[in-house]
Chain A
Amino acid sequence: MGRIPRQYLLRRLRIFILTIWASATLIWIIPRLAPGDPISAMVGQMSQAGGYVEGSEEIIEGFRARFGLDQPLPIQYLRYLLNLITLDFGYSIASFPTPVSQIIGQALPWTFGLLVLAMTITFLLGNALGALMIWTHTPHLIKVLIPLGMVFTSIPSILSGLFLLYIFAFILNWFPVQGAYALGIIPGLNLPFILSVIQHGTLPALAVILVNFGYWALGMRGMMITVQGEDYVQLARAKGLNPLYVLYRYMIRNAILPQITAFAITLGTLVSGQVLVEYIFGYQGMGKIIYDAILARDFAVIQGASFIVICMTAGAVMVVDLTYPLVDPRISHGGE
């Protein structure tokens, strides 16, 4: 425990950059393995939909030049890498000439606000309930209710999302049906906007929580069973310590360690993981733009979004690696 050694930090950063470079290269190669290129594919689509496209050859050539597709591959690749560093993902193909970075930049805060919060609540709730399922002092009623609540885990998120919408938005009319905030409110740091955001975010967040807390609860339950049998927990009870203190300091504190790793990875992938929830609730986050981009075969947006997902996952894993020794003293920073 203590400060992170400089050398380890540098080595870990190298791995981080290497991971991102390798995945960025993959993202670049994969579309180019397909026959043709995105532009001819797009124009082909257009001509299929609307019959003959006037001067399609010239259009294709124009776009190719504009997107740099007429250059030799190594140049294209280097340019691509340089652009990535400046977070320049080019222009959206479907809604040209909006830059991809602008589309992502608008969606990312919503996804972050909604999902990071919802996932954190899910994590805390799931682990707390999982621990309570094992604790000997938990009231019987709670032990019966928790497994019942986990029914939602076995329901696909799209169904429980619709279910929530139906009950709370249509029948009870407590929450709005669609969007991230009400129309006509000016986004900013003002009370009506914040309230509106909370009101709009509650149902999607609830959907995420209901569907996912069961996974954490079950994982925690398994870990708690293991920890419960450990000698140090028995010794803690022999010491006559307060049962609540034994629960969190001796049991949960040890049982939660593998859960923390899993949580970091979930945070990394959450951008892409909750596509359906965002779609059902018309929430304009990353999930929504990825969904739209796939439908529109908007390679540029897909590429940009994938890159963001990769950065977040690699970043989350790195943060766990760097901070894990702080939560588990048995793990030390390599080489120390």
Chain B
Amino acid sequence: MTRESRTPVLEVRDLRIYYETPKGDVHAVDGISFVLYQGETLGLVGESGCGKSTAAMGILQLITPPGRIVSGQVLMDGVDLLKLDERTLRQMRWSRLALVPQGAMNSLNPTMRVHQQIEDVIRQHQTKTKTFDRSQLKPRILELLSWVGLPERVYDMYPHELSGGMKQRVCIAMAVALHPGVIIADESTSALDVVVQRVVAQTLLRVKADLGVSMIMIGHDMGLMAQMVDRIVVMYAGRIVEIATVEHAFRNPAHPYSQVLIDSVPTISERKPLKITEGITHDPRNPPHGCIFQLRCPFVMERCRREAPQRREIRPGQEVACHLYEQQPDGSYRDVRDTA
């Protein structure tokens, strides 16, 4: 697929989401922009607390107090979701944009049977041209369940009767019930044991292959990301520091923070001493002036404290926000460390 032919399905522009606290606003998402293209899987990575879930909830328009969307746009087919009225937004939910929540969490209503929870969303969104009566609904739900590899008996079960991996597959079946164009999976394999993780990941891959949906996968398992996604968005403290294809992100990560993240992936052939990386060091209510990563960056320069770096495409398929990369007169970029 050439880059020019890709059609964007979801575009986030300068999204800012703050949480109000007694000591001031936490800048959980602080001006992020990215594009999700038709049929691609975008990995959203970054350490815990960097704002991945907040960004996802912002896209889904599910931010509740004390959180609030300060500014920005979330465009789907040219329509800004932030400007939609309650009813239109509700109609658009799930039929266009679905969520696979975190694995093994209580994402299913404990007092409803599995089929009831899939049924209600199908019923809610049925249109005049596409209505289901009871006799059609059951085979449809059974089809969805078997499609994610669940036995028929799951249909009548309650969530507490299912294992974590089964619950997660119910969630995936639910997510694809209305054939949405975009699915956001927020840590959908975390909190599951490794074998189950792979099963769930495979199910997600099937969703992508069979249905051609575009997906945003949030997670911190870099190994899993490498297998599943096309491009990686690296977030740090509410901002995007790098967007790169998987190849670039793993072979030559550009941002010092991306390098730390990739370095932390263990391999058998080459045992590295564990790199100690602390959490976000600055107060999230009061981000430093200039580059967001300056307090932890081993290559910090005087300029980093003065001005925030813009995100620029340093080579095809790799955008980074870092002063280490300087544009040459011929238009290409070079690493300032190479000559220093």
Contacts and interface: CB of A to CB of B under 8 A. Distances in A.
A136 B110 contact: no
A232 B107 contact: yes
Interface in B166-211: 171, 174
A232 B117 CA distance: 10
Contacts of B216: none
Contacts of A242: 90, 124
B68 to A, nearest CB: 13
A249 B91 contact: no
Please tell me the size bucket of the interface on B.
20 to 34
Interface string A241-279: 110010001100110000000000000000000000000
Contacts of B171: 235
Contact of B158 (A238, A241, A330): A330
B101 interface: yes
B218 to A, nearest CB: 14
Interface string B96-137: 001101100111111110000000110011000000000000
A241 B102 contact: no
Contact of B102 (A136, A231, A245, A250): A231
A15 B163 CA distance: 35
Nearest to A330: B160
Given A230-B106, A231-B101, A239 B93 contact: yes
A136 B111 contact: no
A70 interface: no
Contacts of A234: 62, 101
Given A231-B107, A329-B160, A240 B90 contact: yes
Nearest to B86: A243
B124 A235 contact: no
B150 interface: no
A237 B101 CA distance: 12
Q: Is the interface of A mostly helix, strand, loop or mixed?
A: helix
Contacts of A245: 120, 124
A240 B121 contact: yes
Given A231-B102, A240-B92, A254 B124 contact: no
A232 B121 contact: no
Given A238-B93, A241-B120, A231 B111 contact: no
A253 B111 contact: yes
A231 B98 contact: no
B116 to A, nearest CB: 9
Most buried by B among A236, A327, A329: A329
A239 B106 contact: no
A37 interface: no
B124 A238 contact: no
B93 A329 contact: no
Nearest to A238: B99
A61 interface: no
A240 B95 contact: yes
B229 interface: no
Given A245-B120, A329-B158, A238 B98 contact: yes
Most buried by B among A232, A242, A249, A330: A232
A231 B60 contact: no
Nearest to A327: B111
Given A230-B106, A328-B111, 7 more contacts: A231-B106, A231-B107, A232-B108, A235-B108, A239-B124, A240-B93, A245-B120
11 contacts: A231-B101, A231-B102, A235-B99, A236-B109, A237-B93, A239-B94, A239-B124, A240-B91, A241-B90, A249-B109, A254-B111
Sort A-B residue pairs by CB-CB distance and give the 4 closest, nearest first: A240-B93, A240-B90, A231-B107, A239-B121
